[in-house]
Every structure is written in structure tokens, then in C-alpha cells.
């Protein structure tokens, strides 16, 4: 499908680099296990005001786990608004939020195209739900605000094969980063919110092969564990103690519903830690 | 009763009547003051440029370029294109040793689309670039300009992009081939090419996108490290090895320098009134100027070589001004190449 407005590559399909088998196997035996505490998140760097021409903007970077080939997360968010809605749209007594999340073509292991695919639209919908609960919408009737997130680098291990299904868990990490950075950009734009919302991920992981026990960790990286059974991404308002968005995925033993609420609690913990970083960086902006 | 006097703050004045505002700054009342632009720079002064390379881990080469408030990130990824996927492929039996004169090398880059640059502006980098719409005329123009300059300046040597295969001799091992022919062994065959996808993303936009984009492309190409590739005859595909990632052999360092022409009379005909050439224009200046000149020079070999002159939008800039501007471009080349390291 040739896009006439872009420079298209060759007509034939190109193959992404496939690496020698021996190398992949040695990488697997050298797998780095998680060195952080089960309730510790990775270091985050958050800065606002990177795009002066936008109403508000923020940039988030989460550190890599130190292993060669495992990238961290790099997100850039711009907020445009509140701006007036086009004349054709009907009257709305509250602000209309429109979110747009896009992976850069060089962000992930597989090169992505320029058109949004369903997973990116899904992230946008989750993000909108998370932020809608935090914005005071009634203050801005007949207005719209655009939140645009570009994911410059996704959280993905280059060597782990796609068959492990890491994509889903990386989407969760990306979503929690998106929520945090969008919240910072909204604050930078001066849009009234009841509270700062931050995202956190908690997962049920299994290490140690068949006999291993499952445990709950926060801020998981799929390459650090043998398998991730289930994960949950939470958008949480700390002062009001409210969850604005909850996304849960995976397999869980059905005999123990306690694990589910434990996962949610850990997700809230992760959110609170991310929120601390968020508030600190916003405090620096104000100064 | 006296009428109250109105006085505007500077940013308000800039928003309400930008043209007189810039004009007043460039032609100050007292001759002692030097002309300066609204952003405080002299007309021939460009913004300092900051370049960071190698920050992306999923790209084979990357660069982040910041010129004032314009920030662009470039990622280059290589993917393999087997010759069997090229429609109407005709193997070339003779390859120029250094690809200098006859342009056979350039033919490969152009015919098989081995370089794919694309510029994405719709990232919210400025209020007029919101996503959800197909690429605007500006984005398409920029992508095309980068593409044609890449081919015209011949910075990429197609010899680096070829992936060879030497069929083994009877009883011998398959070797990684190089281009020399040996009489006893079978000739190496060209089985695949590397295709370089050069993607540019604008994080922030404050005028002069072409210069920033071209600098990012050059920095990323110099930073790229392609894995060593060989053709695997059993799997009939290209297999790579992480062991010796090699950089590309980039020829020269052409760098771009742009200026906008600001006219004293907004709708002047035939060059009446004064004009100023503003080097490295920002968003406000670009919106007030119709005529833009871009010159690409390469001083890496010691002498200055002119790679490209582009001008559009007006008739003020003639031969003399372009000649003078090429001198300014030389100075800018030194600044930017120093930042590139």
C-alpha cells in the first residue's frame, strides 16, 4: 500500500535483521535477573516545557536496566489547548479531550509505519479514560484540548523473541508512562485538574522454571523474568484515593481472588512512587 | 480631558502587528544601535546547535539535534532487501571501484530505493502541526528535499550496502566474500542490499526545519553501525552477526544553511524598499518572509564545495547575494561541524 505523500521504500518487502542462532542462545543464558526490590520502580526523569510553542509539554525518560539491548522508555507529550471547537461541532458544557498516542518508526524492535495501528488507538483510549477523571471539565465549556504523545523509544528487549508475547506487557509500561507524562504536560499547560494522576504497573511473575513460585513485582521488565503471568496498569489519584483507569491482562489462578486485589494494591503503590517524581518535577517547574 | 495613552507590552505588540514590530527592531531609530531581530540575534547570527548521537537502542544510528527551540530526532534502521524481491532486477557485472565518476553507484540507490527518508511533523511540535491529518505540503516538501539532497550529494556509498555471497568451491568452506575476483574460486554474487530507513521526528518546531533535519540526517548516518551480514544459502535469507558492527563510509560532510529575506514593504513589487537577510529564521520570522534561500556547502576536504543552492519565493536574492551568502554558509559549516565532533 504505497502512501503517495511519503517517500516509500522499495516495492519488495524488506527483512529486518535476523541474528545468528548461537548468539541468541548465549544471550538467553546470560539473562539478567531483577536487581531491584519487588516494590521498587526504575529511576525516572521528567522535564516540562520541552516544546515552547505548545500550551504545555513534558518529556519522560525511564532508565534502562543496564543490559545491552534493553531500552528504557522515552516519551514526549505536547498539550494544545484549551482551544475553541470548530463551528460545526455541537455545544458541549465541558471540555472535549482528544488523545493521540504514536510510536515513532524507530521506537520498537519491529519498525512501525506512520499510520496508527489498533494498539496505538487502544493506548489513546485508555489514556483518555485515565485523564478524564482528573480534569475539571466544567471550567471549559465549548473547548477542546489535544494531548499528543510520541513514544520515541519503547520498553522492549531486543533479543527476546516475539513468541514470548512481550508486546502486551510493554504496552502496559508504555501506558503508565503515557499517563504520567500527560499529567505533567497538562499541569504545564495550566489546565485545571483535581489531582495529579500517575500510572503504575504491577505484575505476577514466575521465575525458576516449572517449580517456581509466582510473586508480585511492580514496574516489571519482561526480559528480567522467565514469564509474566498477569499484569495490571493503574491510573491513580493519590490525594483523593481514586482510580481513574484500570487495565488488567493475563492468566490468574481462579481459586485465589486475593491475588487480584493484591495486584491492584501493588499497582497503586507503583503509582504513588511515580506521583512523587511527578510532583517533584512540577515543583521545580513552578520555581 | 486627555485621552489615555495605550502602551503594549512587547509580546503583545509582536502578536498584534508582527511586521512593523520586526521592522522597527531591524531599523532602529538611532544609528548607534545595531539592527537586531526580535529574538535578540543579529541578522547574520544563527542559533547554536547541539547534537547528541547514539541515544536510541533500537535504531542502528540515531541523532538528536537542537537548534534553539527546534528539536528533531533522527533514527536510521537498516533492513535487508533480497535482490529476488526487486522487480525487473538486472545484475550489474561491473561495479565502479570507488564510484566516483560514472554514477553507476547512484543508480543503485535511486533505482532500488535504498534510502528512505521521511519527516514527520504532525507530532504536535507546533500548534499548526496536529496529528490525524495526512502529511502537509511542508512535510512532503521537506522529505523530498532531504531525499534529493541525499542522492545528489552522494554521501552514502552503495558499496557499503551490498551483501555478497560466494558459493563455495568443491570441498571448500563458504567464505565471507569481498569484491575482488579470484581466478580459482567462483565469483561472488550480489544477493541482497541494505535499505536504510531514515525517520525524522520533530519534537519541537521553531523555524528552519530543513537545516535541523539535514544536520540530524548527517549526524545519524555518521553514527550508524550496521551489523555484519551474510547470505545464508540454506535459509535463503540474510543472516546478521552482532560481532563486528561496521560504520558506513560517509563521503564528505555537506551541511545546510538557510536564510529568509525580510522586506521593508510587505507587498513590495520589483525590489523597492530595503531588505534584510535573516540567517536561521525562527517561526515568527518565517511567517513574515516569503523568500527563502538555502545553500549546502561541504568544507571537509579543505576547500569549500558547493553542493546545492535553492531559493524560492521572491526575486530579491540575485547572484551577488547568493555569492555572499555562500561565505556565510562556510562560517556556519565550521560551527556545526565542530558541534558534530
Span A220-230, pLDDT tens digits: 887 778 788 89
Q: Most B CBs within 10 Å: which of A1, A4, A12, A117, as the mutation test of the B interface? A: A12
State mean pLDDT over B134-158: 92
Positive or negative, the Cα torsion across B124, B128, B130, B133? negative
Q: Cβ A107–B58 below 8 Å, yes or no?
A: yes
| Nearest CA distance, B6 vs chain A (angstrom) | 28
In this prediction the pTM is 0.90
| Nearest CA distance, B135 vs chain A (angstrom) | 6
Closest partner CB to B57 (pick from A12, A18, A69): A69
* pLDDT recorded at residue A71: 67
Q: Angle at which helices A166-189 and A118-132 pack, to 10 degrees? A: 40
* pLDDT recorded at residue A257: 82
Q: Which residue has the higher pLDDT, A23 or A16?
A: A16
Q: How far is CA B262 from CA A101, B209, B265, B328, B329, in A?
A: 38, 18, 9, 17, 18
State mean pLDDT over B306-311: 92
Q: Within chain A, what is the greatest distance between any pair of CA atoms? A: 63
Both ends of chain A: CA-CA distance in Å? 50
Cβ of residue A23 closer than 8 Å to a chain B Cβ: yes
Q: Cβ A104–B201 below 8 Å, yes or no?
A: yes
Output the nine-digit C-alpha cell for B176.
565471507
Does pLDDT of A74 surpass 90?
yes
* pLDDT recorded at residue A103: 94
| Residue A25 pLDDT class (50, 70, 90 cuts) | low
The pairing of strands A242-250 and B162-165 is: unpaired
Tell me the percentage of chain B whose pLDDT exceeds 70: 88
* pLDDT recorded at residue B93: 60
CB B297 within 8 A of CB B306: yes
Cβ contacts (< 8 Å) between B123 and chain A: which residues?
Answer: 76, 78, 102, 148, 150
* pLDDT recorded at residue A31: 62
| Nearest CA distance, B85 vs chain A (angstrom) | 5
A74-88, A196-210, B177-191, B263-277: least confidently modelled range: B177-191
Closest partner CB to A153 (pick from B58, B125, B241): B58
Q: Which residue has the higher pLDDT, B125 or B315?
A: B125
* pLDDT recorded at residue A271: 95
Output the nine-digit C-alpha cell for A166.
512481550
State mean pLDDT over A184-196: 94
* pLDDT recorded at residue A97: 94
Q: Cβ A106–B82 below 8 Å, yes or no?
A: no
State mean pLDDT over B14-18: 84
Does pLDDT of A21 surpass 80?
no
B87-96, B171-180, B191-200: least confidently modelled range: B171-180
Q: Cβ A76–B203 below 8 Å, yes or no?
A: yes
| Residue A24 pLDDT class (50, 70, 90 cuts) | low
* pLDDT recorded at residue B174: 43
Cβ of residue A95 closer than 8 Å to a chain B Cβ: no
Distance CA B265, CA B23 (A): 9
Does pLDDT of A2 surpass 80?
no
State mean pLDDT over A142-152: 95
* DSSP label at residue B266: T
Which residues in chain A belong to E strands, given as ranges? Answer: 44-48, 56-62, 73-84, 96-103, 143-153, 198-206, 214-218, 227-237, 242-250
Q: Cβ B240–A50 below 8 Å, yes or no?
A: no
Cβ of residue A96 closer than 8 Å to a chain B Cβ: no
φ and ψ at A283, to 5 degrees?
-60, -40
H/E element holding B246?
strand B237-247
Amino acid at each position: 500500500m504505497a502512501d503517495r505523500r511519503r517517500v516509500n521504500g522499495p516495492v519488495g518487502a524488506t527483512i529486518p535483521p535476523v541474528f545468528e542462532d548461537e548468539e541468541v542462545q548465549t544471550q538467553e543464558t546470560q539473562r539478567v535477573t531483577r536487581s531491584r526490590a519487588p516494590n521498587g520502580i526504575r529511576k525516572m526523569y521528567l522535564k516540562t516545557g520541552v516544546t515552547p510553542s505548545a500550551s504545555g509539554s513534558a518529556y519522560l525518560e525511564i532508565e534502562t536496566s543496564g543490559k545491552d539491548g534493553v531500552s528504557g522508555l522515552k516519551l514526549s507529550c505536547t498539550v494544545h489547548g484549551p482551544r475553541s471547537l470548530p463551528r460545526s461541532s455541537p455545544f458541549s458544557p465541558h471540555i472535549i479531550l482528544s488523545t493521540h498516542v504514536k510510536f515513532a518508526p524507530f521506537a520498537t524492535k519491529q519498525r512501525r509505519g506512520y499510520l496508527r495501528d489498533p494498539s496505538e488507538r487502544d493506548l489513546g483510549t485508555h489514556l483518555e479514560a485515565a485523564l478524564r477523571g482528573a480534569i475539571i471539565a466544567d471550567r471549559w465549556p465549548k473547548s477542546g484540548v489535544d494531548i499528543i504523545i510520541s513514544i520515541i523509544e519503547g520498553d522492549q528487549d531486543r533479543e527476546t523473541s516475539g513468541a514470548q508475547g512481550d508486546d502486551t506487557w510493554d504496552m502496559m509500561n508504555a501506558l503508565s508512562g503515557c499517563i504520567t507524562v500527560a499529567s505533567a504536560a497538562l499541569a504545564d499547560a495550566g489546565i485545571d485538574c483535581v489531582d495529579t494522576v500517575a500510572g503504575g504497573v504491577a505484575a505476577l511473575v514466575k521465575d525458576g522454571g516449572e517449580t517456581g513460585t509466582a510473586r508480585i513485582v511492580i514496574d516489571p521488565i519482561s526480559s528480567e523474568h522467565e514469564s509474566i503471568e498477569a499484569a495490571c496498569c493503574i491510573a491513580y489519584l493519590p490525594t483523593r484515593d481514586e482510580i481513574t483507569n484500570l487495565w488488567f491482562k493475563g492468566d490468574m489462578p481462579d481459586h485465589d481472588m486475593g491475588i487480584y486485589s493484591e495486584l491492584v494494591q501493588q499497582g497503586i503503590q507503583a503509582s504513588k512512587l511515580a506521583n512523587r517524581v511527578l510532583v517533584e518535577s512540577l515543583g521545580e517547574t513552578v520555581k | 480631558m486627555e485621552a489615555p495613552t495605550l502602551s503594549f507590552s512587547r509580546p503583545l505588540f509582536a502578536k498584534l502587528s508582527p511586521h512593523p514590530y520586526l521592522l522597527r527592531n531591524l531599523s532602529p531609530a538611532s544609528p548607534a544601535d545595531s539592527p537586531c531581530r526580535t529574538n535578540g540575534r543579529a541578522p547574520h547570527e544563527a542559533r547554536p546547535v547541539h547534537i547528541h548521537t547514539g541515544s536510541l537502542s533500537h535504531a542502528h544510528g540515531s541523532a538528536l539535534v537542537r537548534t534553539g527551540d527546534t528539536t528533531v530526532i533522527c533514527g536510521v534502521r537498516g533492513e535487508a532487501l533480497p535482490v529476488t524481491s526487486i522487480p525487473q532486477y538486472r545484475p550489474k557485472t561491473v561495479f565502479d571501484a570507488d564510484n566516483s565518476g560514472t554514477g553507476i553507484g547512484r543508480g543503485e540507490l535511486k533505482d532500488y530505493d535504498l534510502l528512505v527518508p521521511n519527516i514527520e511533523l504532525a507530532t504536535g511540535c507546533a500548534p499548526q502541526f496536529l496529528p490525524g491529518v495526512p502529511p502537509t505540503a511542508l512535510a512532503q516538501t521537506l522529505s523530498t528535499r532531504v531525499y534529493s539532497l541525499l542522492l545528489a550529494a552522494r554521501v552514502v556509498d552503495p558499496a557499503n550496502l551490498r551483501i555478497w555471497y560466494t558459493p563455495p568451491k568443491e570441498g571448500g568452506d563458504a567464505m565471507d566474500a569481498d569484491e575482488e575476483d579470484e581466478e580459482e574460486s567462483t565469483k561472488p554474487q550480489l544477493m541482497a542490499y541494505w535499505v536504510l530507513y531514515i525517520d525524522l521526528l520533530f519534537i519541537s518546531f521553531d523555524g528552519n526545519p530543513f537545516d535541523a533535519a539535514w544536520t540530524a540526517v548527517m549526524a545519524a548516518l555518521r553514527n550508524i553501525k550496521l551489523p555484519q551480514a551474510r547470505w545464508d544459502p540454506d535459509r535463503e535469507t540474510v543472516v546478521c552477526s552482532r560481532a563486528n558492527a561496521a560504520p558506513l563510509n560517509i563521503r564528505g560532510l555537506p551541511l545546510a544553511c538557510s536564510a529568509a529575506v525580510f522586506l521593508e514593504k510587505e507587498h513590495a513589487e520589483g525590489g523597492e524598499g530595503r531588505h534584510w537577510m535573516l540567517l536561521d529564521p525562527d517561526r515568527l520570522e518565517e511567517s513574515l518572509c516569503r523568500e527563502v534561500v538555502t545553500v549546502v556547502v561541504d568544507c571537509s576536504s579543505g576547500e569549500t564545495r558547493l553542493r546545492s543552492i535553492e531559493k524560492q519565493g521572491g526575486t530579491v536574492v540575485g547572484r551577488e547575494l547568493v555569492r555572499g551568502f555562500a561565505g556565510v554558509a562556510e562560517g556556519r559549516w565550521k560551527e556545526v561541524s565542530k558541534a558534530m565532533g
